[in-house]
Chain A
Amino acid sequence: SAVISQKPSRDICQRGTSLTIQCQVDSQVTMMFWYRQQPGQSLTLIATANQGSEATYESGFVIDKFPISRPNLTFSTLTVSNMSPEDSSIYLCSVPQGAHGYTFGSGTRLTVV
């Protein structure tokens, strides 16, 4: 199965700033997904990153807040913009692995102060 390298693993950021999270996959994949887990909540899909087209955002998430890049089939970034304490979460990228489910990055633990 694919191996995903996600950076940074954690960060503490000031409110109003932005953080870009990177995911590098060791093989080419058509779709990459970005998730968020707020404290005490479920993992929630933010958007699907498509190579060569704009990301598809789920209800409640917008491009201005979470811009996504997908320059090729092995790499994607998610930016958390104009952060507030409510953005403190674990952010995960993942790729589908067919019958084996999904492979995830190791997560970015973000604290906004």
Chain B
Amino acid sequence: ILNVEQSPQSLHVQEGDSTNFTCSFPSSNFYALHWYRWETAKSPEALFVMTLNGDEKKKGRISATLNTKEGYSYLYIKGSQPEDSATYLCASPGTGNQFYFGTGTSLTVIP
């Protein structure tokens, strides 16, 4: 079992603020780290797949970094908008088909 943890559990920010949250994972036998955005009643949407230590990926106002040596990834949102309100999940593959998810960070952007 891979212990994937996310913090904080929930977050409320004002529109226009920038924010970030953390995913931690075991640094041994690392293969990849995935980020997803999950809006209520919709499918989780893949944001990033990160594999290399020091990776930084960007999609619009959202970016993510990866540190495989210390076992963490940060997700940043610049200038948060109400449409960014969602649960953000990270996940890392284990053995076989198992894919270990964190419990998510629930982001609410207040207009």
Contact = CB atoms under 8 A, between A and B. Distances in A.
Interface stretch (A41-49, A68-76, A77-85): A41-49
B25 interface: no
Contact of A4 (B34, B36, B43, B101): B43
B75 interface: no
A45 B41 contact: no
Given A42-B103, A101-B36, A107 B43 contact: yes
A40 B103 contact: yes
Nearest to A96: B97
Interface string A16-44: 00000000000000010100000011111
B3 to A, nearest CB: 10
Contacts of B34: 101-102
A12 to B, nearest CB: 16
Interface string B71-111: 00000000000000000010100000111111110000000
Contacts of A1: 46
Considering residues B44, B49, B101, which has the most beta carbons from chain A within 10 angstroms of its beta carbon? B44
A56 B42 CA distance: 26
A42 B99 contact: no
A42 B101 contact: yes
Contacts of B102: 42
Contacts of A48: 97
Contacts of B104: 42
Interface in B37-77: 41-44, 46, 49
A9 B41 contact: yes
Interface of B: 4, 34, 36, 41-44, 46, 49, 89, 91, 97-104
Given A42-B100, A42-B101, A103-B46, 19 more contacts: A1-B46, A9-B41, A31-B97, A42-B102, A43-B89, A44-B101, A45-B97, A45-B99, A56-B97, A58-B98, A97-B46, A99-B49, A101-B34, A101-B46, A102-B46, A104-B36, A106-B41, A107-B41, A107-B43
29 contacts: A1-B46, A9-B41, A31-B97, A33-B97, A33-B99, A40-B103, A42-B100, A42-B102, A42-B103, A42-B104, A43-B89, A45-B97, A45-B99, A56-B97, A58-B98, A92-B43, A92-B44, A99-B49, A101-B34, A101-B46, A101-B49, A102-B46, A103-B43, A103-B46, A105-B43, A106-B42, A106-B43, A107-B41, A107-B43
